[in-house]
Amino acid sequence: MPTVEYGGKTFTVDEDGFIDNFDNWSEEWVQLVKEAEGIDELTEEHWKTVHVLQDYYMKNGIAPMVRILSKVPGFKLKHIYDLFPSG
């Protein structure tokens, strides 16, 4: 599997660039993704979406499809893409 280095840490990622192990999720990972997305500051809506993703992953072992993700926090699909432009 490919690796990504950031903030002195090395992260193993899958073929889509997602972190391969939830236990490796850290502040450095957040900063890496934030910069890659071109996000200056994470808002309350960003964090709400992140927490929904984490909860879903912990329960199901996979990330939710975007349509499911948009239903849980009550955001429209377009708004999810506004928050996270690359998906």
Q: Per residue in 37-54, pLDDT tens?
A: 899 999 999 999 888 888
Question: 70 or 5: whose pLDDT is higher?
Answer: 5
Domains of the chain: 1-41 (3.30.1420.10), 42-87 (1.10.10.370)
Given a cut of 80, is residue 87 above it in pLDDT?
A: no
Q: What is the pLDDT of residue 42?
A: 93
Confidence of residue 70 (pLDDT cuts 50, 70, 90): confident
pLDDT, tens only, 7-16: 899 999 988 8
Rounded alpha-carbon distances, angstroms, from residue 21 to 1, 5, 17, 50, 82: 12, 15, 12, 16, 26
Percent of the residues in the chain that have a pLDDT greater than 70, as a whole number:
99
CB atoms within 10 A of CB 69: 19
